[in-house]
């Protein structure tokens, strides 16, 4: 197929590196005479037909910019559309036909959809309806099995590690336990890697159920050895032995409506009451998704964006750009969305953490 004009959109939660992907895909297209329309706020832009024309000027100066110049939405699902012009949610409607119509009206030859598993699910539904779509995976959680690393993860990891560094000095001064809560949904990558990189003492991740008494004994044992402060890194999705997670809110209309959060406060109360050591919680939240991407994420995003356009030119529709062994690759979107990548409780990283004396607050693992 001869490609003359493409659409591009960013959907789902934002993360550092989105603009770098938009820039690389657009630059690769523009220099080959292909027009690029940037749809606003994810698939909502294709429902409302709201877009900007991406020119050389638009694609310049955005490499280092956090967020997304196109805007995003994690609730604009054209197959179950609940948004209204007045902000009041409506009963879900299937507006996929409107998207197909706008795609044709704008004479698009292909679409690049940049997003997480929810976005890739929607992209696959449109592929099944005949739209030529290439996917680019995005998430700070790094929980997609189909790629070695998603862009945004490295930036989140740096933010979490820097926070742990800063919390160390205040914890030492006050002889406190600091509990740092990281994002990551149902995977413990941000918590585990930042805990290793930042020298955390206890790390709690969804993949390894924790036990309050193991945490308390570990902290008291440290104290008995003269270590008067401790750092606990808790993934927002960490589970106790009963399988309980801490839910902050639900977001109706979102592909996964559950928003985790608040475990650090619960742990802080528990640790303070059971150890008698003053404890404080620090929830990093959306700071992990904001701001300038790291050099690695700028590099990785650029590879993803340039590759996505190459895939469009090769008509690799239904595929997603992936990163394997430090090189770009492509995988079927259907494969990508069905497989989550989670920390292996018996893998090298967990084993390394244990070897240096860290604890997972677990009776089974340590």
Instruction: Provide the binding-site residues for ligand F6P, judged by CB under 6 A.
Output: 13, 74, 116, 139-141, 183-185, 236, 251, 259-260, 289
Based on CB atoms, which residue is closest to ligand F6P, 12 or 318? 12
CB of 70 to ligand F6P, least distance (A): 17
CB of 137 to ligand F6P, least distance (A): 12
Q: How far is CA 151 from CA 39, 136, 345, in A?
A: 21, 10, 24
Closest CA to 341 of 159, 116, 188: 188
**Cβ atoms within 10 Å, residue 259:** 14
Based on CB atoms, which residue is closest to ligand F6P, 139 or 362? 139
Based on CB atoms, which residue is closest to ligand F6P, 82 or 228? 82
The CA radius of gyration of the chain, in Å to the nearest whole number, is 22
User: For ligand F6P, which residue has the nearest CB?
Assistant: 183
Instruction: Return d(Cα 75, Cα 83) in angstroms, integer.
Output: 8
CB of 281 to ligand F6P, least distance (A): 17
CB 288 within 8 A of CB 190: yes
**Cβ atoms within 10 Å, residue 243:** 8
CB of 256 to ligand F6P, least distance (A): 8
Based on CB atoms, which residue is closest to ligand F6P, 180 or 183? 183
Q: Which residues of 60-96 are buried (b: 16+ CB within 10 A; e: fewer)?
A: eebbebbbbbbbbbbbbbbbbbebeeeeeeeeeeebb
Based on CB atoms, which residue is closest to ligand F6P, 108 or 156? 156
- Catalytic machinery residues: 141
CB of 175 to ligand F6P, least distance (A): 31
**Cβ atoms within 10 Å, residue 213:** 11
């Amino acid at each position: 197929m001869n490609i003359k004009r493409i659409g591009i959109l960013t959907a789902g939660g934002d993360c550092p590196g989105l603009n770098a992907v938009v820039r690389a895909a657009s630059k690769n297209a523009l220099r080959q005479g292909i027009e690029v329309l940037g749809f606003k706020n994810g698939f909502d832009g294709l429902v409302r037909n709201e877009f900007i024309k991406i020119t050389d000027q638009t694609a310049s100066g955005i490499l280092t910019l956090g967020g997304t110049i196109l805007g995003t939405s994690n609730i604009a699902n054209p197959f179950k559309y609940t948004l209204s012009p007045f902000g009041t949610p409506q009963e879900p409607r299937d507006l996929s036909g409107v998207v197909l119509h706008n795609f044709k009206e704008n004479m698009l030859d292909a679409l690049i959809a940049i997003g997480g598993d929810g976005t890739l699910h929607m992209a696959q539904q449109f592929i099944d309806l005949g739209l030529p779509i290439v996917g680019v995976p995005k998430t700070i959680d790094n929980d997609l099995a189909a790629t070695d690393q998603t862009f945004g993860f490295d930036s989140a990891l740096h933010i979490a590690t820097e926070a742990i560094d800063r919390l160390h000095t205040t914890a030492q001064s006050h002889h406190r336990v600091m509990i740092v809560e990281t994002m990551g949904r149902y995977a413990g990558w941000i918590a585990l890697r930042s805990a290793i990189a930042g020298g955390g003492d206890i790390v709690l991740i969804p993949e390894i159920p924790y036990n309050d008494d193991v945490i308390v004994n570990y902290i008291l044992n440290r104290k008995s050895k003269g270590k008067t402060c401790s750092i606990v890194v808790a993934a927002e999705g960490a589970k106790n032995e009963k399988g309980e997670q801490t839910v902050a809110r639900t977001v109706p209309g979102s592909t996964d409506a559950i928003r985790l959060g608040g475990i650090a406060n619960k742990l802080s109360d528990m640790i303070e009451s059971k150890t008698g050591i003053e404890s404080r919680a620090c929830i990093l939240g959306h700071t992990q998704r904001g701001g300038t991407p790291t050099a690695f994420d700028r590099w990785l995003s650029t590879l993803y964006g340039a590759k996505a356009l190459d895939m469009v030119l090769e008509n690799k529709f239904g595929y997603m750009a992936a990163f394997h062994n430090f090189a770009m690759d492509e995988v079927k979107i259907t494969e990508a969305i069905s497989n989550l990548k989670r920390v292996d409780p018996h893998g090298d990283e967990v084993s390394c953490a244990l070897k240096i004396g860290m604890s997972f607050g677990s009776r089974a693992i340590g």
